[in-house]
Amino acid sequence: MQKRWPLLLIFTFFLLVGGLYAVNVPNWQAPDEPAHYNYVRQLADGRLPIMAHGDYDQAYLDEIRGARFAPQYSVEDIEYEDWQPPLYYLLLTPVFLLTHGSLLALRLASLLIGLGVVWLAYATARLLFPESSWVAWSTAVFVAFIPQHISILASVNNDSLSELMIALLLYLVLRWVTRAGIRTLGDDRRWLIGLGLLLGVGFLTKATVYLMAPVLAMALLWQYWGTWQRLFQAGVLLFTPAFMLGAIWWVRNIAVYGGLDILGKAAHDAVVVGQPRTAEWIGQYGLDGTIQRFFQTTFNSFWGQFGWMAVPMRPELYWLLLGLCGTAVLGLIFYRFTVNPIPIQFRSRLPVLILWLLFLLTLTLHVGYNVTFVQHQGRYLFPALIPISLGFSLGLGTWLLLVEKPFRRERPFLVNLLPATIGIAFVLLDIFALFRFILPSLEL
């Protein structure tokens, strides 16, 4: 029986550290938090929000952020997230009503949703590497304790539920494709319908979950390539329930916003006037300067650039994290050639392709959005955080396995210390970032 106490320890520290963030980060000092909060408030008042002119005022946002959200500034008219699908906000509405609109209660509810992401990170890595528990624990540690990630999960933000839906779909599709034995379409029927229903629920959560549609389509193509009738039937089983659930929101948006604005994105873009645009930055900083700012800010804010991107960590920490990234990437390259045997789940290339496709689609979406708007926020890579964290775990662990290889131990020792080492380091970094950077910079 596999040990469960390391996972319970990760959960406990995740809730403790996340709770510290939820309690101590000043009100509204998380990205877009007032707008997400006001969506829940409108639902609690019995209204389904509609994106409208006046929901976004760049000058007022600059002023209120500059004043650190002082009490004399109202946040009630900050409603530019009204175009978002409603599921996350519907889940938080009972919490809002029971606690009379407590921001802390909503933050803690989001943190509990985030706990599911950590568990699914562990479960996914365990599924793919059943004989290497250190991989699963390390992956869960990365997902749980990256400072920027835990700060987002401990705020009012629909990223928590969208990440949960992506993680659940990723885990289930990997579990489906790694099942042993000869399968028929009848055997797969329940899996396909279940995946379709979950994808449809994701359509009602956030647009980032749409990334899983091409991932699932690629899995279908791989599984049924050459048997075209079965491929068509499988596609119908999977995408029909997803389409039917998604259509609830798409038809509503067409009725409200007109045209073919099924996501409400056109209505959002028409209202969000004054947001910095990439063309303006190219004119101001040049193409090279804009690209350099994109990479630097994306990297920094993936690990930790807090508040509304106004509170970075110290440069030395980013250099250390960059070194950690380089070490992990080199280790991942060596992994394929130095670590044997390859887990049976990877004898087929499909699981690897699924992980890579999710990462590349997420990266493409991030780059594509920044072609128009200046949004160099590393948190936009978090939909692919499980593949990223799995790669980090394998990359760092490979070096430890190489060190121990000459000793020919049946059970390597150093690599089993990796989860604890990384966990302690990142928990300390989380606490240090909160009390050394965030609170001194953002408290009134």
Burial class (CB in 10 A: 0-12, 13-18, 19+), 176: middle
Question: Cβ(120)–Cβ(164) under 8 Å?
Answer: yes
DSSP annotation string for 285-332:
HHHHHHHHHHHHHHHHHHH-EETTTTEE--HHHHHHHHHHHHHHHHHH
What's the pLDDT score for residue 408?
Answer: 59
Residue 138 scores a pLDDT above 60: yes
What's the pLDDT score for residue 343?
Answer: 60
Cα gap 99→366, rounded to integer Å: 36
For the stretch 169-194, pLDDT in tens is 999 999 999 885 556 667 799 999 99
- Neighbouring CB atoms inside 10 A of 309's CB total 17
- Neighbouring CB atoms inside 10 A of 255's CB total 8
Cα gap 35→247, rounded to integer Å: 25
What's the pLDDT score for residue 141?
Answer: 98
Rg for the chain (alpha carbons), in Å? 22
The residue type at 190: R
For the stretch 225-280, pLDDT in tens is 989 999 999 999 999 999 999 999 999 999 999 989 999 999 998 998 877 888 89
What's the pLDDT score for residue 42?
Answer: 98
Q: What percent of the chain has pLDDT over 70?
A: 94
What's the pLDDT score for residue 339?
Answer: 60
